[in-house]
Amino acid sequence: MANFKGHALPGTFFFLFGFWWSMKYPLRHRWKKRQHGTRQSLPVFFNRIDLIEGSLKIFFAFVGIMAEQFVPDGPHAHLLNDEGWVKLMNWQHSTMYLFFGISGIADVLSVSSLSVPVGLDRLALSLALFIEGFLFYFHVHNRPALDQHIHSLLLVAVFGGAASTMLEAFLRDNNLLEVFRSSLAILQGTWFYQIGIVLYPLNGKEWNQEDHGNIMFITMCYCWHYAVALLIVGVNYSSVWWFTNRYGGKQRTDLEISLRKTNQSDSISQKALLQESDEE
């Protein structure tokens, strides 16, 4: 990650997944609500998108590990040489991607025919987020003040996501926790881009790493990032609500009409049978 592109890759990963979650979970919640509290299982469609999501996690993790290891100045899978440790930062980033790959494997197993514990997917994701925060906490020691501060703000989103996802492992289908996790994932994504812009400015003009004013601005900027993340989640949630009401209402009405007709025909048949038995 020692350049802008290195921060853009995980930023894209988290933003896309957060954006997708902010639509998937409201859609799932709306579908369940329309079932009037019945215990009907989710359609196969939701299992398929969970399978695709897990596969994409594995793919992104593999790409991330390859990018960290085999860039021209990367360690190329060498941890030690005659001079000592080789590119430990790249190794830390590879370790982070590894655990998100494990989370993807857990997602795939959770929708497979194998008998796995309920909540394994959430537990694995929470563990991946915790490992990410754990690595980043020791990532910026002895670095300039602004560099340390901007990474410490990232930890708020990382550990917050880890805690909320761990709660999801025990409080299944909690829509509020799922939406909260979506907003923190989007925040992580946009903040990775912000870190890349500050530490590796595209215009070539470097930030003063020791200026307290820059630290104050970055803190305020972090709050703006989260406001944008909440706006994105709100717009997506409202769009899903409008779409399901607009196009799902007619299907639901047709279903209720067909059910009424079925019930009426059943009652007529029962009355006819009773009359025949009375005549006999």
What per-residue confidence (pLDDT) applies to 255?
44
Separation of alpha carbons 276 and 67, rounded Å: 79
161 in helix, strand or coil? helix
Q: Residues 204-228, buried b or exposed e (16+ Cβ, 10 A)?
A: eeebebeeeebbeebeeebeebbee
What per-residue confidence (pLDDT) applies to 259?
45
Nearest in space to 123 (alpha carbons), one of 113, 114, 133, 131 = 131
Q: Do the Cβ atoms of 108 and 54 come closer than 8 Å?
A: yes
What per-residue confidence (pLDDT) applies to 32?
78
Q: What is the pLDDT along the chain (280 residues), one digit of tens a residue?
A: 668 888 998 999 999 999 999 999 998 888 877 765 544 566 677 788 999 999 999 999 999 999 899 988 889 989 998 888 998 888 999 999 999 999 999 999 998 888 889 899 999 999 999 999 999 998 887 888 999 999 999 999 999 999 999 999 999 889 999 999 999 999 999 999 999 999 998 887 889 988 999 999 999 999 999 999 999 999 999 999 888 888 765 555 554 455 455 555 555 555 554 455 555 4
Separation of alpha carbons 179 and 143, rounded Å: 34
Where do the DSSP E strands lie in the chain? Answer: 80-81, 84-85
Give just the sign of the alpha carbon dihedral 67, 93, 131, 154.
negative
pTM of the shown model: 0.84
Under 8 Å CB-to-CB from 63, ≥6 apart: which residues? 9
Chain-centre distance of CA 185, in angstroms?
A: 6
Compute how many other C-beta atoms are within 10 angstroms of the C-beta atom of residue 45: 10
What per-residue confidence (pLDDT) applies to 256?
47
- Burial (Cβ within 10 Å: 0-12, 13-18, ≥19) of residue 4: middle
Report the Cα–Cα distance between both ends of the chain, in Å, rounded. 87
Separation of alpha carbons 53 and 20, rounded Å: 9
What per-residue confidence (pLDDT) applies to 139?
81
Concatenate the DSSP letters of all residues of 13-38 into one string: HHHHHHHHHHHHHHHHHHHHHTTTT-
